[in-house]
Structure 1
Amino acid sequence: METVPTTVLCGERCQLGEGPTYDATTDTAWWFDIVGRRLYEARLVSAEITIHSLDVMGSALGRIDAHRQLLVADDGLYVRNIADGRMALYRPLEADNAATRSNDARVHPSGTFWIGTMGRKAELGLGAIYALHRGELTRLYEHVTIPNAICFSPDGTIGYFADTGKNVLYRVDLDAATGLPRGAPAALVTRRSGGGIDGAVVDADGLIWNARWGGGCIDVYSPQGEHLRCLRVPARQSSCPAFIGRDFSRLLVTSAWQGMAEDAKRADADHGRTFVLDIAARGRAEPDVKLATA
């Protein structure tokens, strides 16, 4: 396992830190504490952290434009005004099923938003993966236990996602213009031990940077599934990465203390904190979400 220069971006401990993303136009990183119902905003130039309380369990967001975000929550998708935090429901998401909530999500280069849901207690096969395309939600995959690692190749022709319940990372061919599948997914990586396949992001070279829950690291895979690198994260339950910085050369990584016993927390001094790894990577900007009216 490699050790790279690492700093704590935010010392606040997230019960379930997830969903990091980066807005290059404002040099601002965003992430969630899903269970804590909090949205974090970090202005990187000043290192100023703002914590926004939410009335819903938010798990991910995508930028719509300079003034709005699309926030993924346990009961729906909300348009959020960045300036004042006001939110308006855009589309319900399994709002009639109190047993589920949203989880991992990421925007395809076309502007289509892939979104995962799961059981609130990680019940077997209770979740699904959806695509928001041209304002309409379509269910792509059913019977998913813990959807994670949603990410896409730079040209939009390949999609990746994981079911952490099975500890399998899948690869699927996509229509680059729509972000929708062109065939059935196939297993790319299967992890037998050492932690769970969690959130992921793809760099400009097409490499997959994947957080390993319970492993305290970031694994880097080729598009063919070859394990290339393993980078240490100073919290055992590392959860999701995002490229940050004007040149996208650093990696923000969230973590969590959910499910940890008190002795495990004491042994994991930085549990739940949010980190920046100086990796000199070739990251890339996240695309904006395209809505029906856009």
Structure 2
Amino acid sequence: MEDDGVSVLCDIACELGEGPTYDPQSGKLFWFDIVGRKLLERPFPDGPTTVHELPFMASAIAFAEDGMQLLVAENGVHVRDPKTGALTLHTALEANNPKTRSNDARVHPSGAFWIGTMAKDEADAAGAIYWFHKGEVRTIYPGVSIPNSICFSPDGRIAYFTDTPRGILHRVDCDPATGLPTGEPRTFLDWRGQAGFIDGSVVDAEGVLWNARWAAGAVDAWSPAGEHLRTVKIPAKQSTCPAFAGPDASRMIVTTAARGRDKAKEPDAGKTFLLDLPVKGRFEPRVPIS
């Protein structure tokens, strides 16, 4: 276990910090407080953090080719104008089900968006994982409780995902041109009975998968063959999701959650951390929206 180089990037405590994504075009980092209905924005690494209030729970952001943003929210995918903050529903997703919300999501190298949903009360098997591209939506994995660790190999031929309560991190072959699965999921990592739970993940340029481990205050690195490479301690138990940041994607940040934690005993709960590690990260592509 290592903790050298871990520092607080932003001391705003999120009830459920999630979805960190860096935009290399603007040099800004974005992330969410899902249950607090907030989008946070910060010039990386230095600069003030701006908190944008949202009218819904949202959990992920991507960047479109025309400079607009895509927000994944509880009722679908919204286009956001970064200059004004104006939101327009682009594609409805579970909009008629007030019991669910979005959770983990990530952009495939092809530009397709994998989006996970779940019950707001974490009811069993109430969510799903969807494939989204240019307004078309397909259900690829139904009956998911808490979708997490959606991420992809650099060449787009492998996708990873988990249903957090089940404790299995899956890998599945993908069509690199479309981001659609071409085979059945196989076990990449069996974490049942181990400390903590598999939460958000990201894959670097060398194919190493970096996973934030919920309830363990840690980020773990796994080789493409499933070998454990290192564990970095985070001073907040509920670590949720890592992301690469900086102009060359060589730095890593991780979000955490304060929900249910005793702030007197865990003062850093919910804060966002900088892991100043020697990583070879990469950025997600722009998403075509029409």
Give the TM-score of the pair, scaled to structure 1.
0.96
The aligned counterpart of 2:99 is 99
Take 1:219 and 1:14, find their aligned partners in 2: how far apart are those partners?
22
Take 2:251 and 2:158, find their aligned partners in 1: how far apart are those partners?
23
User: Which digits, 9 at most, give the CA deviation of each residue in 1:100-150, with x for residues without a partner?
Assistant: 110000000100000000010111111100000232010000111100000
SS state at 2:166 partner: coil
Would you say 1:56 and 2:28 are equivalent positions?
Answer: no
Take 2:18 and 2:66, find their aligned partners in 1: how far apart are those partners?
23
Letter in 2 for 1:242: A
Would you say 1:69 and 2:69 are equivalent positions?
Answer: yes
Take 2:164 and 2:25, find their aligned partners in 1: how far apart are those partners?
33
8 Å CA contact retained: 2:16, 2:34? yes
Take 1:274 and 1:82, find their aligned partners in 2: how far apart are those partners?
22
Would you say 1:115 and 2:115 are equivalent positions?
Answer: yes
8 Å CA contact retained: 1:67, 1:83? no
Letter in 1 for 2:236: A
The aligned counterpart of 2:195 is 194
Letter in 2 for 1:174: C
Letter in 1 for 2:169: L
Q: Return 237-246 or 131-140, whichever deviates more.
A: 131-140
Root-mean-square deviation over aligned CA pairs: 1.0
Q: Return 230-239 or 2-11, whichever deviates more.
A: 2-11
SS state at 1:165 partner: helix
Cα distance, 1:227 vs. partner?
1.4
Q: Sequence identity, in percent?
A: 51
Cα distance, 1:4 vs. partner?
2.4
Gaps of 5+ in 1: none
Take 1:259 and 1:197, find their aligned partners in 2: how far apart are those partners?
18
User: Which digits, 9 at most, give the CA deviation of each residue in 1:53-90, with x for residues without a partner?
Assistant: 00010100100035201100001110000111000000
SS state at 2:264 partner: helix
Q: Return 62-71 or 117-126, whichever deviates more.
A: 62-71
The aligned counterpart of 1:258 is 259
Would you say 1:144 and 2:144 are equivalent positions?
Answer: yes
Take 1:219 and 1:228, find their aligned partners in 2: how far apart are those partners?
8
Cα distance, 1:45 vs. partner?
5.3
Q: Return 78-87 or 132-141, whichever deviates more.
A: 132-141
Take 2:286 and 2:160, find their aligned partners in 1: how far apart are those partners?
19
Cα distance, 1:154 vs. partner?
0.4
Instruction: Please give the residue correspondences for 1:273-288 in structure 2 after superposition, counting only pairs within 5 Å.
Output: 273-288=271-286
Letter in 1 for 2:81: N
SS state at 1:269 partner: coil
Take 1:65 and 1:268, find their aligned partners in 2: how far apart are those partners?
41
Pairs aligned (count): 289
Gaps of 5+ in 2: none
SS state at 1:241 partner: strand
Cα distance, 1:233 vs. partner?
1.0
Instruction: Please give the residue correspondences for 1:204-223 in structure 2 after superposition, counting only pairs within 5 Å.
Output: 204-223=205-224
Give the TM-score of the pair, scaled to structure 2.
0.97
The aligned counterpart of 1:230 is 231
8 Å CA contact retained: 1:117, 1:127? yes
8 Å CA contact retained: 2:114, 2:131? yes
Runs of 4+ in 1 over 6 A off after TM superposition: none
The aligned counterpart of 1:203 is 204
Letter in 1 for 2:242: P
Give the 3 Å change call, closer, same or farther, for CA 53–274 of structure 1 in structure 2. same
Would you say 1:268 and 2:266 are equivalent positions?
Answer: yes
User: Which digits, 9 at most, give the CA deviation of each residue in 1:241-268, with x for residues without a partner?
Assistant: 00001121111100001233x3xx3222
8 Å CA contact retained: 2:45, 2:246? no
Give the 3 Å change call, closer, same or farther, for CA 241–55 of structure 1 in structure 2. same
The aligned counterpart of 1:126 is 126
Would you say 1:4 and 2:9 are equivalent positions?
Answer: no
Take 1:75 and 1:126, find their aligned partners in 2: how far apart are those partners?
15
